[in-house]
């Protein structure tokens, strides 16, 4: 659909890449009229577009989206158009589990639009039965191809777990992060004021959450074994704006 309703769904999410897949983008770039990121994006991700993507393609596109964000070259989303085109159906490519931190909104920092991904947010991006059920819905029933667990630097929940903070229902949540605190190998001060340690625990917490997903969700584990999905981890750096994908 070159030149028409080109969205993150119809362009950035295209397997061949944005510049190659959208005629208008190539044309305008060649003519020097406007850089690709100045195009307007309209429609949401379609089923046909998503079906062409492999799990690795989806991860690559999220990386590219973060590159655009971190360079200040985000897509000029037409959210109303995305809202209208996705109202009758959604075909998200990924389900993201990330922290509630106000500075780490997954869609924004990976330059995603409405309908591009499911997003579960909970302090410290830990999992539980309800989140696992949500992920199983997202992948098995709704067709998402990537489960991304994304932690971030300077995470308050991680600091709270390190400090054994106690507060109402938060106590139980932080207990789920404690195994990551114990499992983190770190040379240096193991305290919540040492950001090197805090970030090392945050990364370990992502790794353990991924293990947890495998262990506690046969549905997702089987989808990954068959190659239908990929379970990936990432850390978002609040200072640099960059998402570091791993595993
Ligand atoms: Zn956090």
Q: What is the pLDDT along the chain (247 residues), one digit of tens a residue?
A: 333 333 444 444 544 343 333 333 333 333 333 333 323 355 778 888 899 999 999 999 999 999 999 999 999 889 999 999 999 999 999 999 999 999 999 999 999 999 999 999 999 999 999 999 999 999 999 999 999 999 999 999 999 999 999 999 999 999 999 999 999 999 999 999 999 999 999 999 999 999 999 999 999 999 999 999 999 999 999 999 999 999 7
Which pLDDT score is estimated for 56? 97
Token code pair at residue 35: 């850089």
Q: Is 72 exposed, middle or buried (0-12, 13-18, 19+ CB in 10 A)?
A: exposed
pLDDT tens digits, residue range 108-120? 999 999 999 999 9
**What DSSP designation does 230 have?**
E
Mind giving me the DSSP string for 146-185? EEEEEEETT-HHHHHHHTT---TTHHHHHHTTHHHHHH--
pTM score: 0.84
Which pLDDT score is estimated for 144? 98
User: What whole-number distance in Å separates Cα of residue 199 and Cα of residue 154?
Assistant: 6
Helix, strand, coil percentages for the chain (3-state, nearest 5)? 50, 10, 40
> What spacing in Å lies between the alpha carbon of 103 and ligand 1's midpoint?
9
> What spacing in Å lies between the alpha carbon of 12 and ligand 1's midpoint?
28
Please name the residue that has the structure tokens 């659909």: 1
Which pLDDT score is estimated for 44? 78
Name which of 106, 89, 88 is nearest 97 in CA terms: 106
> What spacing in Å lies between the alpha carbon of 22 and ligand 1's midpoint?
37
Give ion ligand 1 contacts, CB < 5 A: 99, 101, 155, 157
Name which of 91, 101, 85, 37 is nearest 64 in CA terms: 37
Name which of 208, 199, 148, 154 is nearest 177 in CA terms: 208
Please name the residue that has the structure tokens 């949401």: 44
> What spacing in Å lies between the alpha carbon of 38 and ligand 1's midpoint?
32
> What spacing in Å lies between the alpha carbon of 138 and ligand 1's midpoint?
23
Mind giving me the DSSP string for 175-212? HTTHHHHHH---SS--STT-HHHHHHHHHHHHHHHHHH
Which pLDDT score is estimated for 42? 56
Question: Do residues 151 and 234 lie in contact, with contact meaning Cβ atoms separated by under 8 Å?
Answer: yes
> What spacing in Å lies between the alpha carbon of 158 and ligand 1's midpoint?
7
């Amino acid at each position: 659909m070159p030149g028409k309703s080109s969205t993150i769904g119809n362009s950035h999410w295209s397997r061949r890449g944005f510049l190659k897949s959208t005629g208008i983008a190539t044309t305008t770039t060649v003519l020097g009229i406007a850089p690709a990121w100045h195009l307007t994006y309209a429609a949401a991700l379609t089923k046909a577009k998503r079906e062409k993507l492999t799990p690795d393609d989806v991860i690559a596109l999220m990386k590219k989206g973060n590159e655009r964000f971190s360079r200040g070259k985000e897509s000029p989303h037409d959210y109303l158009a995305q809202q209208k085109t996705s109202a009758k159906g959604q075909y998200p490519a990924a389900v993201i589990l990330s922290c509630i931190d106000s500075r780490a909104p997954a869609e924004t920092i990976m330059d995603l639009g409405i309908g591009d991904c499911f997003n579960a947010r909970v302090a410290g991006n830990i999992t539980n039965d309800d989140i696992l059920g949500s992920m199983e819905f997202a992948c098995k029933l709704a067709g998402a191809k990537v489960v991304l667990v994304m932690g971030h630097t300077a995470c308050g929940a991680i600091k709270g777990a390190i400090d054994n903070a106690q507060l109402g229902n938060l106590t139980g949540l932080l207990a789920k992060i404690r195994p990551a605190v114990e499992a983190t190998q770190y040379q240096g001060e193991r305290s919540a004021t040492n950001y090197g340690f805090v970030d090392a625990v945050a990364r370990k917490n992502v790794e353990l959450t991924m293990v947890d997903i495998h262990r506690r969700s046969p549905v997702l584990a089987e989808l990954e074994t068959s190659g239908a999905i990929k379970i990936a981890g990432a850390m978002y750096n609040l200072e640099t704006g960059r998402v570091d994908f791993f595993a």
